[in-house]
């Protein structure tokens, strides 16, 4: 896998056993460093700090890095299942039980969907994001509330959803897509650091039309596409649209 050559390395700074760091570097086929100096061509680093796998860029090296955040968002009810409220729940639909999030990324939408009690399968094609998600879901499984309710974290598959949709073991009621759209301006002051890093690491998703077409084939009842509010709807005129903060959920029904 040449994908991350010159872009990403694993960083070990004496945090106990070095074996998991070596294994991760081998798995992703990237170098393992103990120090970062100006000669390192890579601008992204994966490391375990404070019990979590973190993604850092050179700016974040001292600050702490980005993790899959498993805490409920501001204003979200902390009980499980949280009420199916808000534009995301409206877009998923009242009759929806099973959801595939085909673009899991940092897992924030997935975790929101999971906390509302839907049955969820997550797909993510980037091996780096998949490692961060596996770590986040492992931490989620260790939460007291998960254990006392005997809940399992969502299942995650590392692969390209376009291919995986053709071999699904079940037909989900809803497929949820949140591919990376080109930004409106080169640097948006509003963009979250985690999304800026994701874009810098992975680039825009050039095959989103293909992903949409594959999702329409594979979904049982509907496909939901999250887009920035300035973007054209990915699949043409949607059947329904729900407005969020600076984003929109476009809903396409299966006929």
Interface with ligand SAM by CB under 6 A: which residues?
102-103, 105-109, 123-126, 129, 160-162, 178-180, 198, 202, 205, 211
CA distance 49 to 12: 10
Taking a C-beta distance cutoff of 8 angstroms, is the pair 190, 65 a contact? no
Nearer to ligand SAM, 2 or 150 (CB): 2
Shortest reach from residue 177's CB to ligand SAM, in Å:
8
Nearer to ligand SAM, 28 or 198 (CB): 198
Shortest reach from residue 3's CB to ligand SAM, in Å:
11
Shortest reach from residue 37's CB to ligand SAM, in Å:
29
Shortest reach from residue 143's CB to ligand SAM, in Å:
19
Measured between its terminal Cα atoms, the distance across the chain in Å is: 40
Nearer to ligand SAM, 60 or 201 (CB): 201
CA distance 91 to 227: 13
Nearer to ligand SAM, 34 or 182 (CB): 182
Closest listed residue to residue 60, CA positions, set 45, 71, 70, 48: 45
Residue count of the chain, please give it.
255
- The count of other CB atoms within 10 Å of the CB of residue 246 is 11
């Amino acid at each position: 896998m040449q994908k991350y050559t010159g872009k990403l390395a694993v960083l070990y700074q004496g945090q106990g056993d070095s074996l998991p760091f070596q294994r991760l570097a081998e798995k992703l086929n990237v170098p393992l460093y103990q120090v970062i100096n100006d000669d390192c061509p890579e601008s992204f680093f994966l490391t375990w700090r404070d019990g979590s796998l973190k993604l850092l860029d050179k700016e974040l090296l001292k600050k702490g890095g980005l993790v899959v955040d498993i805490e409920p968002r501001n204003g979200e009810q902390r009980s499980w299942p949280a009420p199916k409220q808000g534009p995301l729940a409206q877009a998923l639909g009242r009759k929806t039980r099973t959801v595939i999030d085909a673009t899991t990324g940092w897992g924030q939408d997935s975790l929101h969907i999971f906390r509302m009690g839907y049955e969820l399968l997550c797909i993510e094609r980037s091996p780096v994001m998949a490692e961060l998600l596996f770590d986040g879901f492992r931490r989620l499984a260790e939460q007291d509330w998960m254990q006392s309710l005997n809940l399992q974290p969502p299942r995650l598959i590392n692969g390209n959803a376009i291919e995986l949709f053709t071999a699904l073991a079940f037909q989900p009621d809803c497929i949820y897509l949140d591919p990376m759209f080109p930004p409106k301006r080169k640097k948006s002051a509003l963009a979250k650091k985690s999304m800026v890093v994701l874009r810098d690491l992975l680039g825009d998703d050039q095959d989103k039309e293909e992903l949409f077409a594959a999702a329409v084939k594979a979904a049982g009842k509907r496909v939901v596409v999250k887009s920035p509010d300035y973007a054209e709807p990915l699949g043409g005129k949607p059947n329904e649209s729900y407005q969020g903060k600076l984003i929109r959920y476009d809903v396409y029904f299966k006929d």
